[in-house]
Amino acid sequence: MQTNFIPIDYDYFDFQGKNYIKIIGRTDTGKRICVIDDFQGSFWAILKNNFGKEKINKLITKIEKIKIYEAGRESKVEKVELHDKNFLGKPVKALKIFVTNFKDAHRIADKLGYKEIFKRREYDLDLITKYIMEKKIIPFKLYEVSGQVLNNSQEFGWIDSSMDIDLCIKAEKIKQLKKEIKSKEIPFKPKVLAYDIEVDDLKIGGGEILMVSLVSNKIKKVISLKKSNQKFVEHAKDEADLLNKFIKEVKAQNPDFLVGYYSDGFDLPYLKARAEKNKIKLALGIDNTSVKFSRGRNLTAKISGIVHIDLLRFIKTAYAQYLQSETLSLNEVANELLGERKKDFEIKHSKSLGEDEWLAFHEYNLQDSILTYKLFQKMWPDMLEFSRIMQTPIFTVSRNGMSKNVESYVIHNLEKFNEIVEKRPVHEEISKRRLRPKYEGAFVLQPKPGLYENLAMFDFTSMYASVIVSYNLSLSTHLNGDKFSKQRGFFPKMLEQIINYRKKFKIELKKNPNPMVKARSNAYKLLANAAYGYQGFFGARYYCLEAAAATAALAKKSILDVIEKIKKQGYHVVYSDTDSIALLLKNKTKSQTLTFLKQLNKNLPGIMELDLEDFYKRGIWVTKRTGDFGAKKKYALINHKGKVKIRGFETVRRDWCRLARNLQNKIIRMVLKEGNEKHAVEYLKDITKKLKNREIDKKLLIIKTQLKKPLDEYKAISPHVVAARRMIEKSMPVDMGMLIEYFVAETRSKKALVRDKVKLVGEKGEYNIKYYLNRQILPAVENILQVFDINTKELIEGKKQMKLGEF
DNA sequence: GGTGCATCCTTACC
DNA sequence: ACAGGTAAGGATGCACC
Nucleotide nearest to A441 (CA to C1'): C5
Nucleotides of C under 7 A from a protein CB: 1-13
% of chain A residues with pLDDT over 90: 89
Residue A800 reports pLDDT greater than 60? no
Residue A446 reports pLDDT greater than 90? yes
- Our measurement of CA A456 to C1' B13, in angstroms, reads 19
Closest residue, CA to C1' of B14: A578
- Nearest CA to A726 out of A765, A776, A773 is that of A765
Q: What is the pLDDT of residue A188?
A: 78
CA dist A16 and A88 (Å) reads 37
φ/ψ (deg, to 5) at A601: -60, -35
Residue A242 reports pLDDT greater than 70? yes
pLDDT band with cut points at 50, 70 and 90 for residue A751: confident
- Nearest CA to A503 out of A560, A449, A468, A465 is that of A465
Nucleotide nearest to A721 (CA to C1'): B9
pLDDT band with cut points at 50, 70 and 90 for residue A426: very high
What b/e readout covers A424-435, taking b as 16+ CB neighbours within 10 angstroms?
ebeeeeeeebee
Residue A798 reports pLDDT greater than 70? no
Q: Which residues contact A731 (CB under 8 A, 6 or more apart)?
A: none
A652 CB inside 7 Å of strand C = no
Query: pLDDT by residue (tens digit) across A31-48?
Result: 999 999 999 999 999 999
- Our measurement of CA A688 to C1' C12, in angstroms, reads 28
Q: What is the pLDDT of residue A180?
A: 53
**For the residues A501-519, what does the mean pLDDT come to?**
93
A644 CB inside 7 Å of strand B = no
Counting beta carbons within 10 angstroms of the beta carbon of residue A399, is it exposed (0 to 12), middle (13 to 18) or buried (19 or more)? buried
A578 CB inside 7 Å of strand B = yes
* Other beta carbons within 10 Å of A222: 26
- Assign A677 to helix, strand or coil: coil
CA A223 vs. chain centroid, Å, equals 32
**For the residues A300-311, what does the mean pLDDT come to?**
96
- Nearest CA to A478 out of A470, A428, A487, A529 is that of A487
- Our measurement of CA A717 to C1' B3, in angstroms, reads 21
Nucleotide nearest to A535 (CA to C1'): C3
Q: What is the pLDDT of residue A84?
A: 96
Q: What is the pLDDT of residue A182?
A: 44
Pairing of strands A257-260, A307-310: parallel
Nucleotide nearest to A704 (CA to C1'): B10
The DSSP element (H or E) to which A37 belongs, if any, is strand A32-38
CA dist A84 and A104 (Å) reads 25
Nucleotide nearest to A626 (CA to C1'): C9
Q: What is the pLDDT of residue A184?
A: 41
Query: pLDDT by residue (tens digit) across A684-721?
Result: 999 999 999 999 999 999 999 999 999 999 999 999 99
Instruction: Report which DSSP code applies to A701.
Output: G
CA dist A807 and A804 (Å) reads 8
CA dist A575 and A595 (Å) reads 21
* Other beta carbons within 10 Å of A145: 26
Query: pLDDT by residue (tens digit) across A47-97?
Result: 998 788 899 999 999 999 999 998 788 899 999 999 999 999 999 999 999
- Our measurement of CA A778 to C1' C14, in angstroms, reads 28
Which residues from 340-399 of A have any strand C atom under 7 Å from their CB? Answer: none
Which residues from 441-480 of A have any strand B atom under 7 Å from their CB? Answer: 442, 459
Nucleotide nearest to A771 (CA to C1'): C10
Closest residue, CA to C1' of C10: A775
For chain A, give the longest Cα–Cα distance.
96
A314 CB inside 7 Å of strand C = no
Residue A644 reports pLDDT greater than 50? yes
CA dist A349 and A328 (Å) reads 25
Contact A386, A396 (CB under 8 A): no
- Our measurement of CA A703 to C1' B11, in angstroms, reads 13
Q: What is the pLDDT of residue A807?
A: 52
pLDDT band with cut points at 50, 70 and 90 for residue A802: very low
- Our measurement of CA A438 to C1' C5, in angstroms, reads 8
> pTM (2 decimals)?
0.95
CA angle A189, A410, A390 (to 5 degrees): 5
Contact A777, A659 (CB under 8 A): yes
Nucleotide nearest to A707 (CA to C1'): B10
Higher pLDDT, A794 or A86: A86
Q: What is the pLDDT of residue A794?
A: 83
Contact A209, A241 (CB under 8 A): no
Contact A622, A447 (CB under 8 A): no
Residue A516 to residues A377, A519, A523, A606: CA-CA distances in angstroms? 12, 5, 11, 30
Contact A657, A775 (CB under 8 A): no
Nucleotide nearest to A631 (CA to C1'): C8
Instruction: Report which DSSP code applies to A265.
Output: I
CA dist A98 and A78 (Å) reads 5
Residue A556 reports pLDDT greater than 80? yes
A633 CB inside 7 Å of strand B = yes
A751 CB inside 7 Å of strand B = no
pLDDT band with cut points at 50, 70 and 90 for residue A157: confident
- Assign A511 to helix, strand or coil: helix
Q: What is the pLDDT of residue A526?
A: 95
**For the residues A384-392, what does the mean pLDDT come to?**
96
Contact A246, A211 (CB under 8 A): no
pLDDT band with cut points at 50, 70 and 90 for residue A144: very high
Which residues from 182-201 of A have any strand C atom under 7 Å from their CB? Answer: none
Closest residue, CA to C1' of B8: A716
A532 CB inside 7 Å of strand C = yes
CA dist A585 and A453 (Å) reads 9
Strands (E), A89-201: 90-99, 117-121, 143-149, 167-176, 192-199
CA A679 vs. chain centroid, Å, equals 42
Contact A210, A246 (CB under 8 A): no
Query: pLDDT by residue (tens digit) across A512-537?
Result: 999 999 999 999 999 999 999 999 99
CA dist A423 and A111 (Å) reads 17
- Assign A507 to helix, strand or coil: helix
Residue A562 reports pLDDT greater than 90? yes
A706 CB inside 7 Å of strand B = yes
- Assign A33 to helix, strand or coil: strand
A739 CB inside 7 Å of strand B = yes
A552 CB inside 7 Å of strand C = yes
Which residues from 302-361 of A have any strand B atom under 7 Å from their CB? Answer: 326
CA dist A214 and A223 (Å) reads 8
Closest residue, CA to C1' of C9: A625
A720 CB inside 7 Å of strand B = yes
CA dist A126 and A21 (Å) reads 12
Query: pLDDT by residue (tens digit) across A180-216?
Result: 554 444 467 899 999 999 999 999 999 999 999 999 9
**For the residues A364-386, what does the mean pLDDT come to?**
97
A237 CB inside 7 Å of strand B = no
Q: What is the pLDDT of residue A160?
A: 84
A768 CB inside 7 Å of strand C = no
Average pLDDT, rounded, for chain A: 94
- In DSSP terms, A259 is beta-bridged to A194, A309
A715 CB inside 7 Å of strand B = yes
- Our measurement of CA A628 to C1' C8, in angstroms, reads 14
Nucleotides of B under 7 A from a protein CB: 2, 7-14
- Nearest CA to A541 out of A125, A44, A118, A56 is that of A125
Contact A395, A8 (CB under 8 A): no
3-state percent breakdown (helix, strand, coil) of chain A, nearest 5: 40, 25, 35
Residue A765 reports pLDDT greater than 60? yes
- Our measurement of CA A804 to C1' B3, in angstroms, reads 14
Nucleotide nearest to A463 (CA to C1'): B14
Which residues from 621-640 of A have any strand C atom under 7 Å from their CB? Answer: 624-626, 631-634
The DSSP element (H or E) to which A592 belongs, if any, is helix A590-602
CA dist A386 and A380 (Å) reads 10
A11 CB inside 7 Å of strand B = no
Which residues from 776-795 of A have any strand C atom under 7 Å from their CB? Answer: 779, 783
**Torsion, Cα of A526, A529, A532, A533 (10° steps):** -60
